[in-house]
Amino acid sequence: MPEPSVLAALVSALRGGSIDVVDLTSPLSSGTPVIQLPPPFGQTAVFELEEISRYDDRGPAWYWNNFRSGEHTGTHFDAPNHWVTGKDLDDVASVPAGRLIAPAAVLDFTAEARTDPDFLVEVDHVKAWEAEHGPLPEDGWLLLRTGWDARAHSQETFLNADENGPHTPGLSPECARWVAEEAPVIGLGVETVGTDAGRAHGFDPAFPCHSHLMGSGKYGLTQLRNLGMLPPTGSVVVAGPLPIVTGSGAPARVLALVERP
């Protein structure tokens, strides 16, 4: 008897429950939090559905909608051309399909972010994680768990803004540069509204995750959830953004495959 193929073994493991599929995607609705920029900058749209027909005289046997959304609304994928530093690099439709399936490292800073919403991850934090768990995965994702997905029910608590701007955790400017230029990963995934920390407008450079990662041809995943269901190493992320031609990003369904003992 021939040995089963790798794909057949994967299907068997999925059906048998030895591999779990964890949904890392926040549901997309009119209540999904969106980033807010100060005037005079343009603003992204809140997600909207427009009913076309629903088993009625507009279409007796079918239900469907038009929708309106910003590219960077909800759980979404940032392509390199999203930022001026990557303006001549890939749009979201040009990202190679093979890069949409990749291993992941999950770094957990939930306790730190609970104490300090402005908590910044430094290179030394990542190095300490590597000393315990091994190196970051080659051509994989660095996923930053902060517990921020628990706030996703409310625009106000999710953005956590005051007169000085938003207060959300993220990477320090030096760590953002290191992840972009030295770490072997293809991108950064976060639970917050964007890959940068809330205070990043005042960093040098401003919004260093966007500036460094996009300029290095790397990617971003934002507004993830359920990262607490993933182990520190060993999971595989499947990211499925809409392939919008010339698009700077797109809403995405993001899944993780997790092997269970």
Q: Hey, CA dihedral for 25, 49, 240, 243, is it positive or negative?
A: negative
Residue 68 CA to residue 233 CA, distance in Å, equals 36
What average pLDDT does this structure show over 83-87? 98
Q: What is the DSSP string of 213-239?
A: IIHTT-EEEESB--GGGS-SSSEEEEE
Q: Which helix (H) or strand (E) holds 143?
A: strand 141-145
Quote the pLDDT of residue 243. 98
Residues 101-118: pLDDT tens digits? 999 999 999 999 999 999
pTM of the model: 0.95
Instruction: State what percent of residues in the chain have pLDDT above 90.
Output: 97
Residue 165 above 80 pLDDT? yes
Q: Hey, CA dihedral for 99, 105, 111, 112, is it positive or negative?
A: negative
From the list 72, 76, 82, 212, the catalytic residue is 82
Residue 124 above 90 pLDDT? yes
Residue 139 pLDDT class (50, 70, 90 cuts): very high
Query: How many Cα atoms sit within 13 Å of 120 on the Cβ side?
Result: 16
Question: 212 an active-site residue?
Answer: no
Quote the pLDDT of residue 1. 59
Residue 261 pLDDT class (50, 70, 90 cuts): confident
Residue 223 above 90 pLDDT? yes
What average pLDDT does this structure show over 46-53? 97
Query: How many Cα atoms sit within 13 Å of 63 on the Cβ side?
Result: 3
What average pLDDT does this structure show over 227-233? 98
Quote the pLDDT of residue 154. 96
Q: Which of 214, 160, 235, 233 is nearest to 191 (CA)?
A: 160
List 9's β-bridge partners, or say none: none
